Each structure stands twice: as structure tokens, then as C-alpha cells.
Amino acid sequence: MVMMYVRFPLSLRNVEDLLFERGIDICHETVRLWWNRFGPMFAADIRRQRVSRMKGFRQWRWHLDEVFVKINGERHYLWRAVDHEGEILESFVTKKRDKAAALAFLKKALKRHGRAEAIVTDGMRSYPAAMRELGNLERREIGRWLNNRAENSHLPFRRRERAMQRFRRMKSLQKFASVHASFHNHFNQDRHLVDRQTYKLRRSAALAEWQNLVA
């Protein structure tokens, strides 16, 4: 149930109806309660396993980008760090898009994932200002189309945002963005890059790992 709600662009009532077809009669508020309670726990376990597996790998190329999200009519910004394989490393919500916000975002990402060999950004001036203070400005790369990987990573979240009819609190946005990123990383098999048999094997492995996680 938690996986259905977070992974797919479904509303709480959509999940309630799908479960009812399978003989499970629950209220949509139960779906809300369970995802709020168990979603962050499952996401933290997924993130912990992935971080531990990637700690020894230092040839990382990060892609940073930010996208605006409205909360009660007020513009906020969702910052995202994506690695060279499309894994969402960090999601961070701020009210502004200045140097202080970029610095807080970079510090959080670096603390959790370690140093990157190269960091690709767009032309926003907050990035070089923050990276200069951190002492890694020489690692910055910028260029046309170089940051498409980060920009494309926003698309699954945008689909979920529309299904949820946007957010009402900054805290809720931060929570859901982090949980959704972990679930997306776990089940994203890059279907367009592999043959059908490889995709089926990877999908089965992801589902088996998920069942062990929630057991």
C-alpha cells in the first residue's frame, strides 16, 4: 500500500479503490496514516543501503538543479542532486534560491555522500558562490545540455505533485520529496536502456529486495 501510493501517481482514494478490488477494505485516511508512518522508515533503509554500497566509489559526477514548487500559493524551491547514473542523491526544500540556500543544500549532500569528482550545474550564480566557500569551485562544470539528467529527474515528482494536488506545508513537501526519491531510485530500472529479459530480472530483484525490507 505504501509502495503504491508513493511510487505511482495515485491519490489516496485511488489506492483505497485499488485495494478494495483486491478484497482489502480500508479508508483512504488509513493510507495516509500508513504512508506517513512507514514511508520514511522504508526510504531511510533504502537510502542507507545505497549509501553504504557507494561509499567507496569516488568517480562521481553530480548534477544539481532546482525547481519551483508552490505551497499555498507561495513559491518554494526543491533542490535535487543526481549522480551520473540517474540516482537521486539528495532532495532539499528552501524558501529562497540564494547563496545560503545553495550552501545548505551542498553541505547536506556532501555530508551524506562524500566528495564528487565533478559537479554539473546551470548558470545560476548561487552555485559558484556556495562552492567557492566550500573550496570546490574548480570541480564545477557548466554547459548547454550538460545538466539534462538533473532536469529530467524532476519529471516523476511533477507527476506525483499533480496527483496530490500540490502541497500545503514546507515540511510535508520535504518529507514526501525525500521518500519519493528513495522509492524511485529503488524501482527505476532504466527500461529504455536494457533488453526485456534484463529488465525483468532487475524488476524481480527490486521486488524481492522490497519484500525483505517490509517483512
At 112-138, the pLDDT tens digits run 888 888 999 999 999 999 999 999 999
Answer yes or no: are the C-beta atoms of 18 and 4 closer than 8 Å: yes
Predicted confidence at residue 72, as pLDDT, reads 87
Predicted confidence at residue 19, as pLDDT, reads 92
With a cut of 50, list the residues of the chain below it in pLDDT: none
Q: Where do the structural domains in the chain lie, given as residue ranges?
A: 57-215
Answer yes or no: are the C-beta atoms of 183 and 7 closer than 8 Å: yes
Give the separation between CA 124 and CA 78, rounded to whole angstroms.
Answer: 15
Give the separation between CA 109 and CA 136, rounded to whole angstroms.
Answer: 13
Predicted confidence at residue 112, as pLDDT, reads 86
The dihedrals phi and psi of 87, each to the nearest 5 degrees, come to -75, 130
Which cell is 95 given? 524558501
Note the CATH number of domain 57-215.
3.30.420.10
Predicted confidence at residue 59, as pLDDT, reads 62
Answer yes or no: are the C-beta atoms of 119 and 135 closer than 8 Å: no
Exposed, middle or buried: residue 93 (CB in 10 Å: 0-12, 13-18, 19+)? Answer: buried
DSSP code of residue 195 = -
Give the separation between CA 127 and CA 103, rounded to whole angstroms.
Answer: 8
Give the separation between CA 201 and CA 205, rounded to whole angstroms.
Answer: 6
